A and B are shown apart, each in its own frame.
Chain A
């Protein structure tokens, strides 16, 4: 245990940041959150070069390391974006320091969820993300944000009760919840199978998987920009991580087919919903749902499908956080989330507009972003295992999503009259730009991702 204490560092730094943020000293909340997130990022990078750790307490392999890194990158960008954004957000439900406290605790619970060697504790961690993040949604105090926070709590918690039943079934039939023990040997009976299937449904609720996705557009549509960014960028993949482990434990055809079906249905439902959106934040929320569907398809296929899923997690996490940061910028200028009411963005904010245009392209899988490569890996695995027809159906709906998102984003950016004047850009636009560049650069590290995931491929 003692030699593996290093694997606790990301959790430790974010928790320390949380504790110090709550102290009633001026600016300590912001300062400590920045320091904690920077140290968490450094330790996440350091962990990449450490050996795999499987010791009964932790289960940190390549998949966990890459998720920890993604969480750390979105964490620091969210904290940096929050500094000016939350300061200017009026009518807050609570003090600034509670916002930073909750944000740090929320990240700590995500680090915990992807690090532990116990399915039950993964459940505890993911449920703890609900507890710590519910109030973040209602940071801006009005009836609609509070209502969406409540819906999030009740729908997600109910879904997670289903996964708790799943954990009960798994423990009841296998006699252990340890990931490494379950991977070595597990029973092959109906109770275990039902447990895994229920787990896919239950954790899928938290990941916004169809048909338990209804909380997702409401929350993303109404939460403050940095909260939407961290939800979309890393919270949804953390819930999918639990599903990836369930499939890894019991890669039976029934399980894979079930997860694949849910993934495809999620892509279809999200793509169709995107075509009728009039609110840009909800539209990007459905885009996140579509990407989670693709990740689930990748996990269900395994092999290079799984590599594709991990590439999407990293690339989408960075690009989508960039998108939500920019929507925060748009909302602060136009005071509306109605797509029809936003125009002339390029004339008004050229830097933010061009970044939003590219980020929207990135999250919808346009080349040369890494997300496109991730989708290619998934399609390659899908065609190999299930033939062209299913792959074509998924491609068709991805194309619908691509057109729906980019047409509307293009409309907001490029339409408008000549009288619109250029405005001074916000400094935080740079955070969105950096994340978008990182999302693009992820393509260079794909061979390294493959190396890290070699035991899973």
Chain B
């Protein structure tokens, strides 16, 4: 079973790498949907270890498919359709990293994730390949930092959440169902609100150009 988890973890890292290299927003949304299905499979496999006691994991897997795999991508896609005439052509115009740079940086982040995990938590947790969620989290951070397009930043945040689901399930055996359900509902609310904000933001930028930078400096 552990090897299956490792394969799924590897798949998630590959999906995130593809998101990093992809420039078309709609394809990145599809990649996120695919990675959410991988998370759902992961939860089902976790539940199958002790189906009697951990039956809530199946409910959680169902919720993951409905919310993360279907609803969130559909909401984001609809927002893209409302904003652009040709949503399939919407792209990150000026990615901060080229493909070569992102490969290199992603590999460095995977190594950093591994290094941090091996030196701080492995001796306590004793879970082989427990560094995968950490690497995924760091890659999601890179996705946010290296892109200016709001939809891609949002996807980066969602990938971070997926990394946490994987961490809690794989390394710690999951969170209480009420908390997981609350997290999913929050996520759904956040995506709906963010889609509205992004839509208003992008339409303002399309009309007036980006004038906010000079006034907002953190």
Contact = CB atoms under 8 A, between A and B. Distances in A.
B93 interface: no
B167 interface: yes
Interface string A169-194: 10110000100000000000111001
Interface string A261-297: 0000000000000000000000000000000000000
Given A131-B186, A138-B197, A151-B216, A158 B176 contact: no
B182 interface: yes
Contacts of B186: 124, 127-128, 131
Given A143-B211, A172-B168, A127 B190 contact: yes
Interface stretch (A3-11, A211-219, A351-359, A364-372): A211-219
B63 to A, nearest CB: 14
Q: How large is the interface on B (under 10, 10 to 19, 20 to 34, 35 or more residues)?
A: 35 or more
Interface in B100-152: 120-121, 124-125, 137, 141, 144, 150
B201 interface: yes
Contacts of B198: 150
Given A127-B190, A135-B193, A158-B144, A146 B172 contact: no
Contact of B120 (A124, A127, A134, A190): A190
B1 interface: no
10 contacts: A120-B176, A143-B212, A144-B212, A147-B216, A148-B212, A149-B197, A158-B160, A164-B164, A165-B137, A190-B121
B145 to A, nearest CB: 10
Interface of A: 93, 118, 120-121, 123-124, 127-128, 130-132, 134-135, 138, 141-144, 146-151, 153-154, 157-158, 161, 164-165, 167-169, 171-172, 177, 189-191, 194, 214-215, 217-218, 221-222
A121 B208 CA distance: 41
Given A120-B178, A131-B193, A218-B218, A146 B164 contact: no
Contacts of B217: 218
B98 interface: no
B53 interface: no
B175 A218 contact: no
B7 interface: no
Given A120-B176, A161-B160, A171 B168 contact: yes
B172 A144 contact: no
Contacts of B215: 144, 221-222
The 9 closest A-B pairs by CB, nearest first: A172-B172, A120-B179, A214-B218, A124-B182, A147-B212, A131-B189, A143-B204, A168-B168, A127-B186
Given A161-B161, A168-B172, 17 more contacts: A118-B176, A120-B179, A124-B179, A135-B196, A138-B200, A144-B216, A147-B216, A148-B216, A153-B193, A154-B153, A161-B160, A161-B164, A165-B137, A171-B176, A172-B168, A218-B217, A221-B216
Nearest to A131: B189
B21 interface: no
Contact of A146 (B167, B189, B204): B204
B72 interface: no
A222 B218 CA distance: 12
B171 interface: yes
A191 B168 CA distance: 13
B190 A146 contact: no
Interface string B176-196: 101100110110011001101
Nearest to B121: A191
A29 to B, nearest CB: 19
Nearest to B187: A127
B181 to A, nearest CB: 9
B51 interface: no
Which residue, A93, A118, A123, A161, has most C-beta atoms of chain B within 10 A? A161
Contacts of B182: 120-121, 123-124
A147 B185 CA distance: 24
B11 interface: no
